[in-house]
């Protein structure tokens, strides 16, 4: 089967990629996602497009690799592999894990250097991830196989740009400015630990670094002090020809603003004229777009990714689409638990007798908590995200929030997706820019209220903004509309300068890299936030 590419699609870069594919013996079928008839695929033992077949193949591959580990032996992987229905048998014999349970039962052994616990060999890297929670850092195992899988999915996303129209594809051969965590990792007895972005950057393919595409480069990437890192990037910025920027919106925006201010530019394109793509993930981009447009002098194509600490789960594979395509054929086995009262308690904890479905069994436009099993020893692991399938044929999803980052004080079932959309719609109507916000549920007399904190440097009327947010949420969420007539008595908004959110993150030691401000504040995090605002005289 012939595959035709636009000859303008950076031939030199693709040659390097092809050499890398051959060098690493990467599965070409996985990279190009070629559609093969099922009968031929079975005969040649190749992956097919059918979602269920792809996922069963992935599950079998993972279990064959891990069958002699402690986890594989205890959970009877050999028996599952012999079953006619391995997916269902896997769900019967292997329990669901959250981080606390899998760390207590299994992963803590890998930190001591014990081999063959949940995955063959000794785990040499751990991603430190506290996400947007108040908890101490979690140690997520990262294997060379997982890094390789992440690289393959990155290749897939890169090659999908060949189908994009009316974009400057020559920018793909320019520099990639990746604003991530430090590659200077913490050294343990038998392992290294740090941000996943730092681990990934430390393991960037040799050809990518050799071509000079990777910025800010190995020296600056090692810098742990976020302020120093930004200063060094600003200093070097005029010497780079950047085509891609990659990073969390809030911190990348701060970096570009400093470059523009330092060199007295009109916009970032004055210094990087070939900048054409922004690869983002982790938070919804819509609240930030208005701010980014102020920094750009030319159109920039936004490309969304779903790269969690546990793996590269999905990516935007089509131009101008809302959803991301799940990486079904690359060493991640997915399961989906309906995010409802039958499967989760009021705090977002998964119930013992929960349902779990495979990709071919779930419905469109329904929220599910996601479970993954990977080639890093995560098994039926709840990563804490909720997703919604929006295109069953193309297996495309959107991220709708976190299992613990939602508000349901009285049954309003308010998701992060609802909040993002309400803010976006309100900003559009009022012509204001709100890049950050967070919400908390608070007592209100004998009933309850939602307290919104929004970041904006624009002049706004807090009462009008509260009315607009309330109005939009009633349109977006039927449960919310009902509860606003009963126990949810008030919606309040407090406008703060954008720097307040950044200062709080700095105080909490969550600066730069993959750190995002939580969209919902509860417990100690809420108390700390309220005390911070009082101390800084924001009240």
- State residue 102 phi and psi, 5-degree precision: -70, -30
Instruction: For residue 204, tell me if it sits in a domain.
Output: no
Decide if 516 is inside a domain. yes
Angle 491-497-502 (CA atoms, 0-180°, nearest 5)?
Answer: 105
Q: Residue 514 is part of a domain; what is its CATH number?
A: 3.30.300
> Quick one: pLDDT at residue 27?
45
In a domain, 354, yes or no: no
Residue 47 lies in a domain: no
Q: What is the pLDDT of residue 134?
A: 43
Task: Give me the domain span that covers residue 423.
Answer: 416-535
Query: Are the C-beta atoms of 331 and 143 separated by less than 8 Å?
Result: no
Rounded CA Rg of the chain: 23
216 preceded by a cis bond (ω within 30 of 0): yes
- What span, in angstroms and rounded, lies between the C-alpha atoms of 175 and 178? 9
pLDDT of residue 513: 57
**What pLDDT does residue 23 have?**
40
User: What's the CA gap between 54 and 58, in Å, rounded?
Assistant: 6
427 in a domain, yes or no? yes
CB atoms within 10 A of CB 12: 9
In a domain, 338, yes or no: no
If one counts the domains in the chain, the total is 1
Burial 474-500 (b: 16+ CB within 10 A, else e): eebbeebeebbeebbbebebebbebeb
Q: Is residue 378 part of a domain?
A: no
- For the purposes of burial, counting CB atoms within 10 Å of the CB of 286, is it exposed (0-12), middle (13-18) or buried (19 or more)? middle
3-state secondary structure of 357: strand
- Taking a C-beta distance cutoff of 8 angstroms, is the pair 254, 245 a contact? no
Q: How far apart are CA 80 and CA 63, in angstroms?
A: 8
Q: Could you give the angle at the alpha carbon of 376 between the alpha carbons of 370 and 382, nearest 5°?
A: 20
Burial 374-383 (b: 16+ CB within 10 A, else e): bbbbbbbbbb
Say if CB 448 and CB 409 are below 8 A apart.
yes
Could you give the CA distance from residue 33 to residue 156 in angstroms, rounded to a whole number?
8
Secondary structure element (H or E) that encloses residue 70, with its range: helix 70-74
For 297, phi then psi, to 5°, come to: -110, -10
Kindly state whether residue 185 falls inside one of the protein's structural domains. no
Q: Give the residue carrying structure tokens 């400057």.
A: 168
Tell me how far apart the alpha carbons of residues 146 and 127 are, in angstroms, rounded to a whole number: 12
Burial 198-207 (b: 16+ CB within 10 A, else e): bbbbbebbee
Sheet with 125-129, strands from edge to edge, namely 138-142, 125-129, 192-194, 186-187
- Residues composing the chain: 539
Mean pLDDT per segment of 10 residues, for the chain of length 539 residues? 40 47 42 48 53 96 98 97 96 96 95 95 87 62 93 89 88 86 78 78 59 80 84 95 90 92 97 95 80 93 92 93 94 96 87 95 96 98 95 94 82 86 93 93 90 93 96 92 90 93 84 75 89 84
């Amino acid at each position: 089967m012939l595959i035709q590419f636009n000859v303008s699609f950076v031939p030199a870069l693709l040659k390097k990629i092809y050499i890398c594919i051959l060098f690493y013996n990467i599965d070409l079928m996985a990279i190009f996602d070629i559609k093969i008839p099922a009968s031929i695929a079975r005969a040649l033992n190749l992956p097919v497009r059918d979602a269920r077949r792809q996922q069963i193949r992935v599950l079998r591959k993972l279990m064959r690799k891990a069958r002699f580990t402690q986890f594989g032996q205890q959970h009877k992987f050999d028996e599952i592999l012999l079953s006619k229905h391995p997916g269902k048998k896997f769900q019967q014999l292997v329990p669901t894990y959250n981080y606390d349970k899998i760390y207590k039962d299994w992963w803590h052994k890998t930190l001591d250097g014990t081999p063959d616990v949940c995955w063959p060999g000794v785990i040499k890297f751990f991603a430190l991830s506290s996400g947007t929670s108040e908890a101490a850092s979690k140690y997520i195992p990262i294997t060379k196989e997982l890094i390789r899988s992440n690289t393959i999915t990155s290749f897939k996303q890169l090659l999908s740009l060949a189908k994009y129209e009316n974009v400057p594809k020559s920018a793909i051969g320019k520099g990639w400015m990746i604003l991530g965590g430090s590659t200077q990792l913490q050294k343990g007895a038998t392992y290294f630990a740090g941000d996943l972005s730092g681990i990934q950057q430390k393991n960037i393919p040799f050809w990518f670094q050799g071509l000079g595409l990777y910025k800010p480069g190995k020296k600056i990437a090692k810098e742990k002090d976020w302020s120093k890192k930004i200063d060094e990037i600003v200093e070097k910025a005029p010497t780079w020809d950047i085509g891609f920027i990659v990073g969390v919106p809030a911190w990348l925006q701060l970096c570009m603003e400093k470059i523009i201010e330092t060199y007295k530019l009109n916009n970032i394109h004055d210094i990087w004229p070939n900048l054409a793509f922004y690869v983002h993930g982790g938070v919804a981009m819509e609240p930030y777009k208005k701010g980014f447009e102020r920094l750009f002098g030319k159109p920039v194509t936004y490309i969304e990714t779903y790269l969690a600490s546990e793996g590269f789960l999905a990516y935007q594979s089509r131009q101008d689409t809302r959803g991301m395509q799940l990486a079904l054929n690359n060493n991640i086995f997915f399961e989906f638990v309906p995010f409802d009262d039958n499967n989760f308690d009021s705090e977002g904890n998964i119930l013992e007798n929960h349902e779990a479905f495979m990709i071919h069994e779930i419905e469109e436009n329904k929220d599910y908590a996601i479970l993954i099993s990977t080639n890093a020893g995560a098994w039926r692991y709840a990563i804490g995200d909720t997703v919604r399938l929006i295109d069953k044929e193309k297996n495309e999803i959107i991220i709708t929030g976190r299992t613990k980052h939602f508000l349901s004080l009285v049954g309003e079932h308010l998701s992060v997706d609802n909040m993002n959309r309400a803010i976006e719609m309100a900003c559009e109507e009022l012509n204001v820019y709100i890049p950050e916000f967070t919400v908390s549920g608070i007592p209100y007399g004998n009933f309850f209220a939602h307290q919104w904190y929004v970041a904006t440097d624009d002049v706004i009327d807090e009462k009008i903004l509260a009315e607009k947010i309330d109005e939009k949420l009633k349109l977006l969420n039927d449960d919310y509309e009902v509860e606003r007539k009963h126990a949810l008595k008030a919606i309040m908004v407090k406008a703060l300068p954008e720097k307040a959110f950044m200062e709080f993150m700095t105080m909490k030691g969550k600066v730069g890299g993959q750190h995002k401000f939580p969209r919902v504040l509860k417990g100690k995090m809420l108390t700390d936030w309220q005390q911070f605002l009082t101390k800084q005289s924001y009240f």
